[in-house]
């Protein structure tokens, strides 16, 4: 029997969710199976190809909902989990007890662990380290920006590799290790360890580029790195460079999309008040209340730039409005 697991690609929580789901399924559902893994990325246009749902069972973790009858399992924690009201209604009507959603969880990995334990008797203790670090990384629960940028912990080094890889076989190869081994051991695996030195050097270079590119005004940062190979930059670097900031908006480019990244500083001097998922949804994107993104076709750089500038203007106006309200 083949179980195909679709996960949020180039994302530590996505890979970890696939790993935890696989361990849970093998331990509590059935073990005479072969797992296949396929990454999903947010992009302009259709997110799913029905023909790809070719497992005996098909699961989606840490990614948007699909109403396809071929999808037998689904877990997600993003506020923008549904592409349409019809998808949300389809989920609400589902009676399978195999599809789960809760946007209050910091990571999808911790959500799967909780549901698997409470509903299926799964023991999450052997994967406690993985759950702990996905909550920290996906929930931006670092002690400070310096910790988030220094890349000392194995989980953070794995995140850097996962977000930067262009090899479609790398994460499927990594997932079984995440499910069964300590993270310090995973990061020492030769196919992982060999990638780290050039990526750490690239990380240091990205800090220099962002330092030159960031435009800071009204506690809102804007930068455009579409001319650089930097889509996988560390999203906390802007706040490390500008601790006074509340929001950041960045433009980056890859081979298949132009991405508008919208985030908020976890260590901001005053809390963000704008729901960034709602902002991104207006442009066809989504995410969480504190971080979101929008994907445009690679040919739509002008449209992406226009959206980014509009969002920057909205966020800066929000900050000015908050200043006015607190000064009266």
d(Cα 244, Cα 297) in Å, to the nearest integer?
33
Measured on CA atoms in the order 14, 232, 282, 318, is the torsion positive or negative? positive
Q: With 0-12 CB in 10 A as exposed, 13-18 as middle and 19+ as buried, what is 305?
A: middle
Domains of the chain in start order, with CATH, are 2-193 (3.90.1640), 212-327 (3.10.310.30)
Question: Tell me, what's the pLDDT at 172?
Answer: 98
Question: Tell me, what's the pLDDT at 112?
Answer: 98
- Token readout for 190 is 């030769």
Global pTM?
A: 0.88
Q: What is 71-94 written as a DSSP string? A: EEEEEE--TT--SSHHHHHHHHH-
Contacts of 311 (CB under 8 A, 6+ apart): 249, 260, 262, 279, 283
Q: Along the 328 residues of the chain, how does pLDDT read in single tens digits?
A: 999 999 999 999 999 999 999 999 999 999 999 999 999 998 877 899 999 999 999 999 999 999 999 999 999 999 999 999 999 999 999 999 999 999 999 999 999 999 999 999 999 999 999 999 999 999 999 999 999 999 999 999 999 999 999 899 999 999 999 999 999 999 999 999 999 999 999 999 999 999 999 999 999 999 999 999 887 789 999 999 999 999 999 999 998 999 999 999 999 999 999 999 999 999 999 999 999 999 999 999 999 999 999 999 999 999 999 888 776 5
d(Cα 211, Cα 261) in Å, to the nearest integer?
17
């Amino acid at each position: 029997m083949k179980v195909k697991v679709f996960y949020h690609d180039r994302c530590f929580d996505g890979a970890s969710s696939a790993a935890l789901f696989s361990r849970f399924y093998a331990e509590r559902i059935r073990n005479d199976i072969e797992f296949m893994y396929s990454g999903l990325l947010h992009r302009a246009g259709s997110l799913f190809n029905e023909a790809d749902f070719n497992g005996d069972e098909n699961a989606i973790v840490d990614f948007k909902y699909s109403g396809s009858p071929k999808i037998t399992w689904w877990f997600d924690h993003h506020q923008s989990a549904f592409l349409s009201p019809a998808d949300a209604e389809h989920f609400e009507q589902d009676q399978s007890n195999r599809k789960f959603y809760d946007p209050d969880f910091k990571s999808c990995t911790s959500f799967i662990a909780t549901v698997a334990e409470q509903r299926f008797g799964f023991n999450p203790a052997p994967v406690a380290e993985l759950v702990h670090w996905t909550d920290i990384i996906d929930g931006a629960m670092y002690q400070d920006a310096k910790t988030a940028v220094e890349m000392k912990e194995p989980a953070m080094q794995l995140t850097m590799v996962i977000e930067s890889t262009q090899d479609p076989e790398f994460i499927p190869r990594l997932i079984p290790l995440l499910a069964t081994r300590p993270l310090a051991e995973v990061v020492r695996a030769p196919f992982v360890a060999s990638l780290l030195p050039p990526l750490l050097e690239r990380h240091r270079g990205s800090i220099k580029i962002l330092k030159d590119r960031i435009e800071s005004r009204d506690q809102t940062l804007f930068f455009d790195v579409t001319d650089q190979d930097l889509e996988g930059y560390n999203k906390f670097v802007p706040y490390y460079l500008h601790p006074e900031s509340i929001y950041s908006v960045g433009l980056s480019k890859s081979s298949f999309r132009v991405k508008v990244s919208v985030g908020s500083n976890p260590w901001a001097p005053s809390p963000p008040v704008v729901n960034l998922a709602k902002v991104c949804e207006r442009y066809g994107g989504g995410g969480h209340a504190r971080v979101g993104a929008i994907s445009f076709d690679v040919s739509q750089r002008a449209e992406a730039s226009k959206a980014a500038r509009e969002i920057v203007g909205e966020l800066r106006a929000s900050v000015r409005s908050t200043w006015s309200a607190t000064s009266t």
